[in-house]
Amino acid sequence: MISSAVLPDGCTVRAPAPTDAEGIFDLISAYNTTVVGFADCALDDIAERIVEPGFDAGNDGWLVLAADGLPVGYGYAFDKGGGGDVEVDMISQDPAVASWLYDRTMGRAREIGREGGHAQITVDVFAYRADEGLRDLLSGHDFVSGTTYRRMRIDHTGPVAAAVLPPGVVVRRGMYDDESRRRAHDLIVECFRGQFGFVPRPHEDWLAFREASSLFAWSQLCLLEIDGKAVAFRDSCDMSLETANCGHIAGLGVLEEYRGRGLAKFLLYDAFALDAAAGRDGTILLVDTNNPTRALELYLSVGMTPSLTYDGWRRVLPVD
């Protein structure tokens, strides 16, 4: 696909490099502040995405620079697993730059589909509900909102009591060997299978991502077992540490046949107690409000409150 949009005079484009992380951070911080009132991004997260396993910066990323050399736009297309699902994003306060990045990311998404031998691809974009410019751009190109996410938070103003473990349940904290990591990954895939936007990574890719990330640690991955079977998990990380001094639950799930036994509540209360003991101001997570497990009701019931709203936008299109 050849871009039909034109960049403003004086702009140049190149692939992002690890040394660009701070410039991209400044760009995204300013953009987010305009949209939601605060920066809402972490430098480590941006830096790691540029070198994330599976992301080819030379083909999959675009950094738009103004005549003074400062970033004015950033976009990427990321193959989520080789199955014809691609995540794209385009960030710029200049509508002309955003439109150009839209064309480039969508063109690359089609290329990824062709390279994978797919007749069509599914393209996902994750956007703030308050981002009217991006919402108008996406809806004007036949994207539809597939689901809504809410950021949930609970504040910790003092010590939090230790969670009470349900009878017959064993806690496994930290995944330090190949077998436990395989069990954890298989459980995560089973719990999230079929949910909007979830594409399981091959196990080796999942391992490589976690090993390369400074935000995720094997010590923060927790499993619950019943009769020797892993049935529930919590995956915490440091994603909200820099921006909010909060713990962050990146994933929480319970196998369907084991729901309703208080396992998810234990994992939440346990995270709250650990975060409070570590001096965190609160605990944050993101929930798909259309989750078939009625997760939003669970988080509200344990005292978490919603703040930011996001939409998952999707378009399915032929690669030719």
> Is 311 within 8 Å of 147 (Cβ atoms)?
yes
Question: With pLDDT > 90 as the criterion, what percentage of the chain qualifies?
Answer: 91
State the pLDDT at residue 183: 97
Q: Identify the DSSP state of 307.
A: E
Burial of 136 (0-12, 13-18, 19+ CB in 10 A): exposed
Q: Give the residue ranges of the chain where pLDDT is below 50.
A: 1-3
Residue 1: the pLDDT is 41
> What secondary structure letter does DSSP report for 126?
E
Q: For 215, which DSSP code?
A: S
Whether this model's pTM surpasses 0.85:
yes
Q: Is residue 263 within 8 Å of 232, Cβ to Cβ?
A: yes
* Alpha carbon distance 31, 19 (integer Å): 20
pLDDT (tens digit per residue) in 120-151: 999 999 999 999 999 999 999 999 999 999 99
Q: Tell me how far CA of residue 150 lies from CA of 89, 275, 295, 299, 300, in angstroms.
A: 19, 21, 11, 11, 11
Domains belonging to the chain, first-starting first, are 12-141 (3.40.630.30), 152-309 (3.40.630.30)
Helix, strand and coil percent figures for the chain, each rounded to 5:
35, 30, 35
Encode pLDDT of 264-308 as tens digits: 999 999 999 999 999 999 999 999 998 877 899 999 999 999 999
Per-position DSSP letters for 16-76, written without gaps between them: --GGGHHHHHHHHHHHHHHHHSS----HHHHHHHHT-TT--HHHHEEEEE-TTS-EEEEEE
